[in-house]
């Protein structure tokens, strides 16, 4: 599966789950903006997605995200 198809699939799952949050996986919450900038440049996200991006530790947790959050 290509990176773009993987990201598209993840976005569809998030939207179907009733949340528009997009969990951004980076070390620090302060790095979300820069990470989103890079993802937009790489075509992984669109500018319109920016307001929905949150650090993974503050996203509404489900599935593997909940398991990872519990480790912190």
Enclosing domain of residue 7:
3-71
Q: pTM of this prediction? A: 0.60
Contacts of 39 (CB under 8 A, 6+ apart): 24, 45
> Mean pLDDT for the chain?
78
User: Contacts by 24-30 with C-beta closer than 8 Å and gap 24+?
Assistant: 24/53, 24/54, 24/55, 24/56, 25/56, 26/55, 26/56, 28/55, 29/55, 29/57, 29/58
What pLDDT score does 18 carry? 56
Q: Domain count of the chain?
A: 1
% of residues, the chain, pLDDT over 90: 44
């Amino acid at each position: 599966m290509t990176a773009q198809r993987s990201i598209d699939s993840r976005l569809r799952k998030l939207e179907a789950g009733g949340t528009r949050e997009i969990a951004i996986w980076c070390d620090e919450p302060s790095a979300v903006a820069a990470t989103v900038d890079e993802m937009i440049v790489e075509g992984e996200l669109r500018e319109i997605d920016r307001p929905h991006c949150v650090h993974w530790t503050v996203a509404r947790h489900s599935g593997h995200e909940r398991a990872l959050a519990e480790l912190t």
